[in-house]
Amino acid sequence: MGEKLVALAMSAHPDDIEFMMSGTLLLLKQAGVEIHMCNLANGCYGSQVYSKEEAARIRAGEAQASAQVAGAVWHPSLFDDTAIFYDAPSLAKVTAVVRRVRPDIVLTLSRYDYMEDHEYASRLTSSAVFNRCLPCYVTDPPVPSFNKPVAVYHSVPHALMDMQRDPVVPEFVVDITRVMDVKRAMLEQHVSQKEWLDATQGMGSYVESMAEVCRMLGSRYGACAYAEGWRRHNHMGYCGPDFHPLESLLADGLKRC
């Protein structure tokens, strides 16, 4: 196959990858792909106990521990919580990460989600991938451009609906049953976020909430125990119409919806 393929999972907050993307990322790892994880926001406001600075430090440690469980390369966050915006300075920072990683596959959040931070992160990620090959575009910090095909995939939102409660239906699902235990172990690293969500959103069992969504996707679309759902970004400006590495690598466990 030539050079080893590289996959970058880029989300808004620490634990977003674990909730909606990590099963697919783990399967890509098993298929021989080098995997990377980057949360754009640092989770600094995700606590009712810790200071902003202490919360960010703790959340970074939890994200690194999760990446270690996955065997992924971890990248530091770029913004504080509530400070992800689709603007020129932010795009220059996100594009620098994409150019350093040089991915073939990018996994990111849904363009239509229940949370604006997620939507902004999704837009920044896909635009940063587009900007990868613009030699005169200057990133922050400056990183040289690269020009190779990249396929971008959007997960479905955790609630399986957007802000207006309209359903977000996947284009296809990936059977993640055989890596579900590792996906759970990754999410279990985010101890402080479990405490935060239990206190502020009444989520109850943090890990079981994630597992229930995967069960729902598996039973509704995949005829399997657990699944993650995906929608493919339009290929134009990113790669040729026949470049679909995720579908090719994970064909045995993939089902169109």
Query: Band of the pLDDT at 142, cuts 50, 70, 90?
Result: very high
Task: Report yes or no on 1 lying in a domain.
Answer: no
Look up the domain containing 13 and give its range: 6-256
Q: How high is the pLDDT of residue 200?
A: 58
φ, ψ (nearest 5 deg) of residue 77 = -70, 160
Query: Band of the pLDDT at 128, cuts 50, 70, 90?
Result: very high
Task: Report yes or no on 47 lying in a domain.
Answer: yes
Q: What percent of the chain has a predicted confidence (pLDDT) above 90? A: 88
Q: How high is the pLDDT of residue 151?
A: 98
How many whole angstroms separate alpha carbon 227 and alpha carbon 218?
A: 4
Q: How high is the pLDDT of residue 191?
A: 87
User: Across all residues in the chain, what is the average pLDDT?
Assistant: 94
Kindly tell me if the per-residue pLDDT of 216 is higher than 90.
Answer: yes
Kindly tell me if the per-residue pLDDT of 46 is higher than 90.
Answer: no
Q: How high is the pLDDT of residue 201?
A: 56
Q: What percent of the chain has a predicted confidence (pLDDT) above 70? A: 95
CATH number (domain holding residue 115): 3.40.50.10320
How many whole angstroms separate alpha carbon 130 and alpha carbon 239?
A: 10
How confident is the model over 144-165, as pLDDT tens digits?
999 999 999 999 999 899 999 9
At residue 151's C-alpha, the angle toward residues 149 and 153, to 5°, is 170
Q: How high is the pLDDT of residue 202?
A: 54
How many whole angstroms separate alpha carbon 117 and alpha carbon 41?
A: 9
Q: How high is the pLDDT of residue 1?
A: 45
Task: Report yes or no on 130 lying in a domain.
Answer: yes
Task: Report yes or no on 231 lying in a domain.
Answer: yes
Domain count, the chain: 1
Q: How high is the pLDDT of residue 195?
A: 67
- Model pTM? 0.95
Closest CA to 14 of 35, 37, 43, 36: 43
Task: Report yes or no on 31 lying in a domain.
Answer: yes
Kindly tell me if the per-residue pLDDT of 114 is higher than 60.
Answer: yes
Whether residue 28 contacts residue 106, with contact meaning beta carbons closer than 8 Å, is answered with: no
Q: How high is the pLDDT of residue 26?
A: 98
Question: Helix, strand or coil for residue 148?
Answer: coil
